[in-house]
Amino acid sequence: MKETPLSNCERRFLLRAIEEKKRLDGRQTYDYRNIRISFGTDYGCCIVELGKTRVLGQVSCELVSPKLNRATEGILFFNLELSQMAAPAFEPGRQSDLLVKLNRLLERCLRNSKCIDTESLCVVAGEKVWQIRVDLHLLNHDGNIIDAASIAAIVALCHFRRPDVSVQGDEVTLYAPEERDPVPLSIHHMPICVSFAFFQQGTYLLVDPHEREERVMDGLLVIAMNKHREICTLQSSGGIMLLKEQVLRCSKIAGVKVAEITELIQKALENDQKVRKEGGKFGFAESIANQRITAFKMEKAPVDTCDVEEKAEEIIAEAEPPAEVVSKPVLWTPGTAQIGEGVENSWGDPDDSEKEDDDEGGSDEAVIFDSIKMDTEIEVSNTGSQDAPIVLSDSEEEEMIILEPDKNPKKIRIQTINAKQEKAPSKRPVRKRKKKRAAN
């Protein structure tokens, strides 16, 4: 899609506003837009926001053989991409002039300034070196791509950790992050680009131009500097004549801005380190919910649990002991008895149990507790209890206690005891035999 053209009226308004030292977003001449740095879950991944301009930086590494003329140096590779997502005017898969210019500037700013110790990336001289690749993606374009990209690149490099390696003879061992902590790159200094836009043949100067200011500017001066006020790159484009004093003044401004930004970067890196140590979620990973687009979440209500035990004890102490349940035992058939209402199985399918109820009605002994029925059952149990010992004598291990009805409790108990006594001696020899077998 074609770029939205700039109308005459916008151009005129912008220039007049700049003459009056006013900017569209209310900034002063030397003000930067808000810079926000956030990190991803992986090392070496960050998003830098400069106002509405957003750049995603991702660093990756690989073991490769070095270049022939530099056998002991690692390789640095920078790649900035302008996707169509950033602005509809960017065409995918085509190297536009702007892209080439930006990539070249980034390389000069970061590689040629030797901010990264490439010799420390050497594993085996002439055979294996680390290749560090910095991928930068422009996510949204609102002017001043180069500043945002240079910040994103250096932040991602500072944040990156490469796997540890050890060399024993010819053997190179690569350690997973679980085995050995990954090592950070050795970075000597942090060069940061600062852009100055010139209007009316250099009469007016603005720091950090946004997209529409970039469109009406006459010339652009980019100064890459580190916090020691060493100029790493200086590039003037747009074909305007700058005076010596102007360049000097710009470099002074750049020094101040770079100091501010470097401090911000260091603070962001420290913050991230701290959060990582605590094991929380960090960076923009925080905003990614658990693979859900929308979530109707209930907020967790904080509950004070420090005095729960005391409270529970208090409640237990204060509460009255439960009333003793006096249950009338029922003996259904000889050998089985019931206390309370425990016969009914409440775990089954409700529908099924209902059906059963319907089918069998009151005839089933298990369901209905009529007083009349109780009486009859008790009678049954009385009669049945006399035969009980015979049934019981099955096994010694199963202790069966028959809870007797009111009438003749003693009798039954005696009978059961008798049964046990009678049965016991007959079983003992068998056991002994078993033991002997085991001994043999």
Partner 1 sequence: MAEAAAVAGESLGGGRARAARTVLGQVVLPGEELLLPEQEDADGPGGAGEQPLRLNAGARSRVRVVCGPGLRRCGDRLLVTKCGRLRHKEPSSGSGGGVYWVDSQQKRYVPVKGDHVIGIVTAKSGDTFKVDVGGSEPASLSYLAFEGATKRNRPNVQVGDLIYGQFVVANKDMEPEMVCIDSCGRANGMGVIGQDGLLFKVTLGLIRKLLAPDCEILQEVGKLYPLEIVFGMNGRIWVKAKTIQQTLILANILEACEHMTTEQRKQIFSRLAES
Q: Does 300 bind partner 1 (CB under 8 A)?
A: no
Minimum separation from the CB atom of position 14 to partner 1 (A): 9
Minimum separation from the CB atom of position 301 to partner 1 (A): 15
Q: Does 204 bind partner 1 (CB under 8 A)?
A: no
Q: Which two tokens stand for residue 81?
A: 């991409």
Q: Does 301 bind partner 1 (CB under 8 A)?
A: no
Q: Does 4 bind partner 1 (CB under 8 A)?
A: yes
Phi–psi pair at 80, nearest 5 degrees: -105, 135
Q: Which residues pair with 165 in a beta bridge?
A: 174
Which of 176/295 has CB closer to partner 1?
Answer: 295
Q: Does 291 bind partner 1 (CB under 8 A)?
A: no
Sole window of 21-29, 249-257, 365-373, 406-414 interacting with partner 1 (rule: CB under 8 A): 21-29
Q: Does 92 bind partner 1 (CB under 8 A)?
A: no
Residues 6+ apart with CB under 8 A from 77: 131, 132, 133, 134
Phi–psi pair at 301, nearest 5 degrees: -80, 130
Sole window of 22-30, 39-47, 179-187, 216-224 interacting with partner 1 (rule: CB under 8 A): 22-30
Which of 9/243 has CB closer to partner 1?
Answer: 9
Which of 89/390 has CB closer to partner 1?
Answer: 89
Which of 6/308 has CB closer to partner 1?
Answer: 6
Which of 6, 125, 289, 390 is in the footprint of partner 1 by CB under 8 A? Answer: 6
Cβ proximity of 141 and 211 under 8 Å = yes
Minimum separation from the CB atom of position 5 to partner 1 (A): 5
Which of 1, 68, 301, 438 is in the footprint of partner 1 by CB under 8 A? Answer: 1
Query: DSSP letters along 309-355, please?
Result: HHHHHHHHHHSPPPPPP----EEEETTEEE-TTTTS-SSS-HHHHHH
Q: Does 347 bind partner 1 (CB under 8 A)?
A: no
Q: Which two tokens stand for residue 313?
A: 């004890």
Q: Does 407 bind partner 1 (CB under 8 A)?
A: no
Q: Does 22 bind partner 1 (CB under 8 A)?
A: yes
Q: Does 421 bind partner 1 (CB under 8 A)?
A: no
Cα-trace Rg, the chain: 43
Sole window of 23-31, 193-201, 227-235, 299-307 interacting with partner 1 (rule: CB under 8 A): 23-31
Minimum separation from the CB atom of position 143 to partner 1 (A): 14
Q: What span, in angstroms and rounded, lies between the C-alpha atoms of 105 and 150?
A: 9
Q: Using the Cα atoms of residue 120, residue 123, residue 128 and residue 134 in order, give the sign of their dihedral.
A: negative
Query: DSSP letters along 236-268, please?
Result: EESS----HHHHHHHHHHHHHHHHHHHHHHHHH
Which of 7/345 has CB closer to partner 1?
Answer: 7
Q: Does 13 bind partner 1 (CB under 8 A)?
A: yes
Which of 13/32 has CB closer to partner 1?
Answer: 13
Q: What span, in angstroms and rounded, lies between the C-alpha atoms of 2 and 310?
A: 72
Query: DSSP letters along 20-49, please?
Result: TT--TTS--TTPPPPEEEEE-SSTTEEEEE
CB count, 10 Å around CB of 289? 10
Q: Does 91 bind partner 1 (CB under 8 A)?
A: no
> Using CB under 8 A as the criterion, which residues of the chain lie in contact with partner 1 when the complex forms?
1-2, 4-13, 16-17, 20, 22, 24-26, 294, 296
